[in-house]
Structure 1
Amino acid sequence: MIRCLAVDDEAYATKIIADYIGKIPFLELVGTTTSAIEALTKVQQGDIDLVFLDIQMPDLTGIQFLKLCGSKCKVILTTAYPEYALDGYEHDVIDYLLKPIAFDRFLKAANKAHTQIMPVKTASDAIPSIPNQENPIVQNSSANDYMFIKGESKNKFLKVNYDDILYIEGLKNYVSLFTSGQRMVTYQTLRDLETQLPQPPFYRVHKSYIISVDKIRMVDGNQVYIGEQPIPIGETYRDGFLKMIREQE
């Protein structure tokens, strides 16, 4: 696990970062603080791997923090001011996130951290590696035929074999993965999940549905059947989907 600290002089901003950290299996929230000096003390104690750090703070700026902490930890800057990007990268920050921070952008930064931090951590701190760094929640690579999704409790993760998935339904910030004998629900958007699944066999056919092409029984008009389950084909996705189907003839 990568031990994280969220630092921002605005408490609501640390809550957003803390919430994002909680959604990512290989990140562990050690704490939040609105004081850069308190954060520096924690870092110097050696228990922090990664700091999500605001730049504009009253007692100690993010740039000053970087100079003082040296190589004690890795840093991802979070700020509303793009003009500080160059200064940040000159101090070897992992990434530079502009507020308001979208979750998918946060995921990308987290995976950069995973790439840089995990190889130097001890085996006892590590979790199963995630070869495809585009995805922090779902383990996915050409070498793997499975993924992990977050379960209903804080530290619970479920392994799902790609070949077992029939289709996936999205509802706001949740997705349901349907297999032949189970429905699994996880906190994630369908859009985020779509970018992580291997294509093929997975294909989005509707704003609310992704299907496994391997599990199609029949396509009939504006519906595709996965077993006996009809799935609507959305107008936005219809042409691309039908083209893909015809290419398989």
Structure 2
Amino acid sequence: MGDQPRAYVLFHPVEGLTLKAGVGRGFKAPTLKQLSAEFESWAAMGGRGVIRGNPDLQPETNLSYEMGAAYESDTWSAGATFFHNKVRNLIDTVRQPTCFAPGRVCLAYENVARVRLQGVELTGGTDLSERWRLDANYTYLDARDQITGEPMPDRSRHRANATLAWKPLASMSTRMQLEYIGAQFRSDKQGKRPGYALLHWYMDYAVNRNLTVQVGVENLTDKRLANDDISLFSRADEGRRYFVGMRVQF
């Protein structure tokens, strides 16, 4: 979304507790590739799909409401936020009934006239000891096409993360993250795509106050969903990924 005018009200009834409520509007114009009639991407769905642009796309508009509460103490924190978004002309990739390329799946950028996205996000964290901390979050999302009444495809109703962090030295911290992605609706005929979990590991080391080295391994167990069942998980998986980076600050 582009720049969004927002109005928020914050209230602190007691120390550590914050209540908030807000409303905002958003606008998102289609990208040049999404609007281009000549644009084609043959990398969709791990090379099994083709996405074409659509010059008739309309901009997305969004009206969002939010209310929640958060509490933070010296050793633990918790929060809950309810959100309700009304989106008009949502830009989405839609599977086409026929395809010009044999053996492939054709998709196109299309507007979904009216979509409602609403749900609840829960967060929490606690210090287990001086060096260990556990943080978690959970999101429930009800994404629905208000014209057809059906759930929006390829969107998980349940998502969750849990992170266990360890700081053995003042200059070094490491954390293990468990990510859960719940079942996703595909269509009335295809049913749901089952949920799955991924495991990640990260480490930060501060060489000095200006330079921090970051390393990590994502998808530690090398889970490859499309290899398990290509009919359910059509997107190609990257599998286990290693990375090294640096953060410089002055």
TM superposition score category, shorter chain reference: under 0.3
Q: Whose helix proportion is higher, 1 or 2?
A: 1
TM-score by length of 2: 0.22
Q: Whose strand proportion is higher, 1 or 2?
A: 2
TM-score by length of 1: 0.22
